Structure 1
Amino acid sequence: MSAVRNIGLCGVGGQGILFLGQLLANAFMRRGLDVRVAEIHGMAQRGGSVLVELRYGTRVHAPASHGDYDILVALEYIEGLRQLHKLKRDGVLILNLDVIRPLAALLGEDVPALSQIYPILKQRVGKLAIGNFTKTATRVASPRATNVFVAGVLLSLGILPISVEDVEGALRVVSPPRFLEVNLRALHAGLAREEVEVR
């Protein structure tokens, strides 16, 4: 592959957005690709908005794209809607329907129902994977493994030039040993798209 691809990862502090970026970057490097990861803004402490941009390709010069994402991965519903304008038309959106209420209250925002925004998503997004990923990750592994569950969902779509083995190998490097088995369970549940709807 020669084209540079851009992935946006968004959510709030405490969801492991930076870990997800490190996991994907390690998997791409295992495939021999050049990767750049940048935290664009936000506070990684619990509750603050976090946005990470990941670029990969045969050769990547610039560290961040500042939008124009081919893929937007949102670990929190409100953050996904806030960053949607950075997704290319007909791009891929992976949207966790879980809402972190303190964030909504802090911003003073009403939380639109999916039924309200779906017509907009249908016009703008080429592929949409949705579900309450936090709820599913909690059931199959741990709420802390939601980020790895989402990595599995992303991998299941067949749009990344990496394999399951690449991601498993990356997990063995970046995951603390005591969380490895839980993370592997979450990854495989995401790969199976448990309680995930793809439109």
Structure 2
Amino acid sequence: MKTFNIIITGVGGQGIITAGTLISEAAIKMGLNVVMSEIHGLSQRGGSVNVEVRIGDAYGPISPRRKFDLVLGFEPIETMRILSTINSDARVIMNKEKITPISVSLKDAEYPDVNGMALLIPGIKKIYEIDAGDIGNQAGSFRSANTVMIGAVLSLGILPVDEKSIIEALNDRFSGKMLDINLKAMKLGMEAMKKMDASL
């Protein structure tokens, strides 16, 4: 199958690597070839984290010419850093939660205004913005925001993996209360995206 290239970006501690692992494990359960790579800084210092997941006829971990079909942006600034590398028809889902990067806080600078920045990048048609942290809290823990993001992209129907395989991956990774929270977070993420997509 044609390779589907995903980049998940944000700040250390947001569960970005876990999100990439869940998608990768779901792909394996569906019998698909998958390659995952990660580049990350220190979560304690607000380090940037990028995870690439390539599903399909991919043999190397890095996307050619760094072209992506999907961006899951867990933090606005980190999302904006990635946008110039994606395909013109790519989908972008961005968590609204702002985390001040160390480069800004050390300089005693203000968090930049990211509103409208996507319009300055050629080819970006739409960014779906979702309050994943708030939805995660509704599910029982803000730490389930990463599963909210996975639910949101599942709702768009563009991932090569399905809801059943994600649920199986969640069952392998979590148990008890944390499993219940993450399953609920995924469902709430799906519902939030359906409402948003229907309003566009």
1:127 Cα deviation from its structure 2 partner: 4.3
The number of residues matched between the two structures is 194
Q: Which residue of 2 aligns with 1:60?
A: 58
1:73 Cα deviation from its structure 2 partner: 0.6
CA contact (8 A) 1:38 1:52 kept: yes
CA contact (8 A) 1:6 1:56 kept: yes
DSSP-derived class of the 1:33 partner: coil
Scaled by the length of structure 2, what TM-score is found? 0.87
Give the structure with the higher percent strand.
Answer: 1
Give distance in 1, aligned partners of 2:32 and 2:194. Answer: 31
Is residue 2:31 matched to residue 1:32? yes
Describe the superposition over 1:153-195 as per-residue Cα deviations: whole angstroms up to 9, x where unpaired. 0100011122211110110012354411110110000111169
Q: Which residue of 2 aligns with 1:74?
A: 73
What code does the residue aligned with 1:168 have? I
Give distance in 2, aligned partners of 1:118 and 1:16. Answer: 24
Give distance in 1, aligned partners of 2:170 and 2:106. Answer: 34
Q: Which residue of 1 aligns with 2:152?
A: 153
Residue identity over aligned pairs, in percent, reads: 30
1:129 Cα deviation from its structure 2 partner: 1.6
Structure 2 gap ranges (5+) = none
Structure 1 gap ranges (5+) = none
Change (3 A) 1:106 1:82: farther
Describe the superposition over 1:119-141 as per-residue Cα deviations: whole angstroms up to 9, x where unpaired. 336x5224432122212222333
Give distance in 1, aligned partners of 2:93 and 2:21. Answer: 18
CA RMSD of aligned residues (A): 2.2
For residues 104-123 of structure 1, the aligned pairs below 5 Å read 104-106=104-106, 108=109, 110-114=111-115, 116-120=116-120
DSSP-derived class of the 2:152 partner: helix
Q: Which residue of 2 aligns with 1:140?
A: 139
Change (3 A) 1:106 1:145: farther
Q: Which residue of 2 aligns with 1:87?
A: 86
CA contact (8 A) 2:155 2:193 kept: no
DSSP-derived class of the 1:193 partner: helix
Change (3 A) 1:137 1:101: same
1:109 Cα deviation from its structure 2 partner: 6.0
Give distance in 1, aligned partners of 2:84 and 2:29. Answer: 31
Scaled by the length of structure 1, what TM-score is found? 0.87
Change (3 A) 1:95 1:61: same
Is residue 2:43 matched to residue 1:45? yes
Give distance in 2, aligned partners of 1:196 and 1:125. Answer: 21
DSSP-derived class of the 1:197 partner: helix
Give distance in 2, aligned partners of 1:27 and 1:106. Answer: 39
